Amino acid sequence: MAQEERLMILQMVADKKITASEAAELLKALDGGRPDDGVARVAAAGTTGPGPVAEPAAVTQPQPPGPGAVLPPPADAGPHRVTNFGGGLGSFIEDVVERVTSAVAGVVEPPHEFTSVFSGKFAASDIPLRIITGNGRVEVRTWDQPGYQALVLVKARGNTEAEARNRARDAFTVKANEQGFELEARRMEFGDLAVHVTLNVPIDRRYRVEARTGNGHVDLEGLSLSDGRIHTGNGRVTCRGGQSDDLTIRSGNGSVEVETDSANLKAETGNGSLDITPTGARPQSLRLSSGMGSVRISSRRMGPGAGFKVEAHTGMGGVSVGLPDLLYDRDSRTLANKHVIARTANFEQAAVPVTIVAHTGMGSVSVE
Written in H, E and C, the secondary structure of 170-223 is CCEEEEEECCEEEEEECCCCCCCEEEEEEEEEECCCEEEEEEEEEECCEEEECC
Tens digit of pLDDT for each residue in 142-157? Answer: 999 999 999 999 999 8
Written in H, E and C, the secondary structure of 6-28 is HHHHHHHHHCCCCCHHHHHHHHH
Region of poorest pLDDT, from 181-190, 300-309, 342-351:
181-190
Residue 187 has what pLDDT? 74
Q: What is the DSSP string of 247-288?
A: EEEEESSS-EEEEEEEEEEEEEESSS-EEEEE-SSS-EEEEE
Task: Please state the rounded mean pLDDT for residues 291-319.
Answer: 95
Average pLDDT over the chain reads: 81
Task: Please state the rounded mean pLDDT for residues 302-310.
Answer: 94
Percent of the chain predicted with pLDDT > 70: 69
Residue 223 has what pLDDT? 98
Tens digit of pLDDT for each residue in 112-153? Answer: 999 999 999 999 889 999 999 999 999 999 999 999 999 999
Taking the CB of residue 344, how many other CB atoms lie within 10 A of it? 21
Which helix (H) or strand (E) covers residue 160, if one does?
none
Residue 189 in this model has a pLDDT that exceeds 60: no
> Angle between the 20-30 and 89-106 helix axes, to the nearest 10 degrees?
100
